[in-house]
């Protein structure tokens, strides 16, 4: 098992700042032209999302994507374990996890992580790595407690841009939901192994929080943010 296991979980990504966050991920590989695969399952393999992926990564990496709704790849394990980065698109988290489990993607992603392949994603592609999360997969904002479980606890994305997120997450934690992290858009959490290495953002004012229950009360603690720039996207 590689000691260098990385997950970069982004709460939301704008066109203005997304290239800096994605550049940060590419630098984690240490390669001049890494191999990057998009898994767009949460969008239903949206053409628009796939095109956006190639617009960015096509000139900076050996890019490809994996469709599962119109699957043509026989050996999924060989394809994914040949990558340096696996990026997961946002969308419907619950549907994505169900499809992944049918195709065995969940087990392959665990193997990829253990092998040192960088795992990353936005929204659904961020919260899926945790044991639990706050999602709108079911129509309203609610809990999902059967994530992949690579990382302990829970995560909530879009903490400031969607008004239901903060009160729902805090209510859930107050009722016994696993403690975890809340992140605003254009903010990401970088985990090295299973420990939080840094909260990062290229956006001035972007915030991340630790949400936990302490002595029967919900505590929201703001995390220190490392600001990224286009000149220096890495730590």
Residue 202 lies in a domain: yes
How distant is the alpha carbon of residue 49 from its chain centre? 15
Supply the DSSP symbol for 41.
Answer: G
Model pTM score:
0.95
* Helices and strands (H and E) in the chain: how many: 7, 14
Residue 232 has pLDDT above 90, yes or no: no
| C-beta separation of 183 from 159 below 8 A | yes
In a domain, 232, yes or no: no
Interatomic CA distance for residues 208 and 11, integer angstroms? 9
Tell me, yes or no, whether 47 lies in a domain. Answer: yes
Mean pLDDT of 13-41: 93
Helix axes 105-114, 93-103, angle to 10 degrees: 90
For residues 105 and 118, the answer to whether their CB atoms sit within 8 Å is no
Segments forming the whole domain that contains residue 90? 6-227
pLDDT of 235 over the 70 cut? no
Question: What integer pLDDT is reported at residue 233 of this predicted model?
Answer: 60
Total domain count, the chain:
1
Q: What pLDDT score was predicted for residue 108?
A: 98
d(CA 18, CA 200): 12
pLDDT (0 to 100) of residue 152: 98
Residue at 204 is within a domain: yes
Please say whether the beta carbons of 8 and 151 come within 8 A: no
Whether residue 234 is contained in a domain is answered as: no
- C-alpha–C-alpha distance, residues 112 and 78, integer Å: 10
Give a yes or no: residue 183 inside a domain: yes
* CATH code for position 35: 3.40.50.880
> Does any domain span residue 187?
yes
Residues with catalytic function: 123, 158
Determine the pLDDT at residue 13.
85
pLDDT tens digits, 140-189: 999 999 999 999 999 999 999 999 999 999 999 999 999 999 999 999 99
Q: Range with the lowest mean pLDDT among 115-119, 125-129, 174-178, 228-232?
A: 228-232
Mean per-residue pLDDT of the chain: 94
On whether residue 53 sits in a domain, the answer given is yes
Whether 34 shows a pLDDT value over 60: the answer reads yes
pLDDT tens-digit series, residues 82-95: 999 999 999 999 99
């Amino acid at each position: 098992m590689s000691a260098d296991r990385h997950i970069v979980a982004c709460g939301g990504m704008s066109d203005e700042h997304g290239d800096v966050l994605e550049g940060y991920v590419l630098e984690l590989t240490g390669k001049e032209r890494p191999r990057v695969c998009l898994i767009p399952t949460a969008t239903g393999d949206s053409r628009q999302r796939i095109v956006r992926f190639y617009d960015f990564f096509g000139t900076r990496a050996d890019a490809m994507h994996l469709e599962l709704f119109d699957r043509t790849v026989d050996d999924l394990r060989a394809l994914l374990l040949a990558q340096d980065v696996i990026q997961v698109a946002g969308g419907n988290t619950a549907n994505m996890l169900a499809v992944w489990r049918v195709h065995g993607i969940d087990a392959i992603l665990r193997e990829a992580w253990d092998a040192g392949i960088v795992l990353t994603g936005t929204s659904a592609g961020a919260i899926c790595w945790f044991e639990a999360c706050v999602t709108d997969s079911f129509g309203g904002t609610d809990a999902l407690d059967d994530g992949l479980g690579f990382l302990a606890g829970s995560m909530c994305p879009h903490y400031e841009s969607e008004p239901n997120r903060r009160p729902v997450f805090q209510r859930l934690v107050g009722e016994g939901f696993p403690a975890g992290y809340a992140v605003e858009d254009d903010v990401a959490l970088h985990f090295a192994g299973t420990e939080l290495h840094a909260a990062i953002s290229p956006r001035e004012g972007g915030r991340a929080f630790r949400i936990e229950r302490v002595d029967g009360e919900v505590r929201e603690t703001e995390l220190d943010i490392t600001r990224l720039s286009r000149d220096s996207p890495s730590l």
